[in-house]
Amino acid sequence: MSTFVVKLSKAALPAHIQAATPIVFEGQSATIHIPNEEQSSEEQGLRTISICARRLTAMITTDASLQGDWSFEQQWAFASSFGGPKSKARAIWCDNSDSAQLENTYQAFSFARNIVNQTPEQLSPQSLAQQAKDWLSSLAPEHISVQSWTGKELADAGWQGIYEVGRGSERPPVLLEIDYNPSSQTQTDIALVGKGITFDSGGYSIKSSEGMLDMKCDMGGAATVTGALGLAIMNGVNKRIKLYLCCAENLISGHAYKLGDIITYKNGTTVEIVNTDAEGRLVLADGLMAATESGAKIIIDAATLTGAAVMALGRDYNAVFSMDDALRAEFLTLSEQVNEPHWALPLAPMHRYKCPSPFADTANSRPQKGGGGGGASNAAGFLSRFVRDDAKGWLHIDLAAAYNRDGSELMPNGGTGIGIRSICAMLMK
């Protein structure tokens, strides 16, 4: 298949071209004009490249061959914005030293985006776990070991949250543990936990039709942490890392969990269900306890957890929560270095008690629309009950920017993969 050549230029834009999309076409090629460093920041230049990549996606059907002088970040800004779920076209890297690293990054993002964009019928909890296992095992078969609990095995092992959320579906829930250990270490360095709700109807707290339409994306946390671990493996990470995927379908049936039920977790915490649509935190609680049991020095979870995070930050930023100030600052610094937008929202010990229950240690939400004010912080506070007592070494990412049905001026339709590079940077560091 022929390719379309795309070049970069810092020369002045011709007067007849609109500055909003500064592309000059010539035959089978186009030149994107970006401001020089004296006129704008690097961030503005990368944004211009992404906007032009989205425009080119709508105009050409062939691969885009990047030629000339492109930096790593410039190539990635184009590649991550070009194409989409209905396009087979992709970026072809410049012939320079960045090509191998860019291809690794592209492979990780492709895995995450493609699995997020699968239909709910295609992606059951077992299928999500299997695809994650197969991909990671293909990258480092000699260093990967796998354990999983499915259906009633979850309840027997004490993983009650995943079991309760998933028992309403005919397709059983799964907790997947992947142990990547390239140096035969006894100590686990980092544990990753991902929310893997493959479809979220809201349960008996049923969503509206428009609210339910894109709930295939509710496993975006599982896709993100799997993509991050895969990228780190391809980049040669030499740490012992455990991955926990909490996979379930949240459906309505005669066997589904109900409002007023009380779940008793492995650590003794009792939780009253006041909203079956606040199910993500219920499955993550099991994953966080498993991560804590692993003895990992650092625990990072990622989840498409709350609409409150989207209301606070829109679809442009992921929300970051931690009671470990140094860890949060380190993550935000790394995310800025890889040009992935994240923003810290409040989390304090008081947030553990923002969802009181007269019948249990806590409720899983507040009986108000969207969980009431501060819903994203309250959800993070709930999760903090299931990690170390002081919550040191724990970071929670609420993936507000993980999915956008209609895309944006920077991102294609569907899954975005935002968060993969930032988490990978933490693993590599």
Angle at 137 between CA 134 and CA 140, to 5 degrees: 155
3-state percent breakdown (helix, strand, coil) of the chain, nearest 5: 40, 20, 40
The H or E element spanning position 396 is: strand 394-398
CA distance 360 to 272: 6
Say which amino acid occupies 190. I
CA distance 278 to 420: 24
CA distance 404 to 316: 10
Name the strands in the sheet holding 270-272, side by side, starting at the edge strand that comes first in the sequence.
Answer: 262-264, 270-272, 362-363
Contact between 410 and 388 under an 8 Å Cβ cutoff? The reply is no
Q: Which residues are designated catalytic?
A: 207, 281
Q: And the tokens for 162?
A: 């995943």
How many CB atoms are closer than 10 A to CB 9?
15
* DSSP assigned state of 225: H
Q: Of 357, 406, 98, 105, nearest to 90 (Cα)?
A: 105
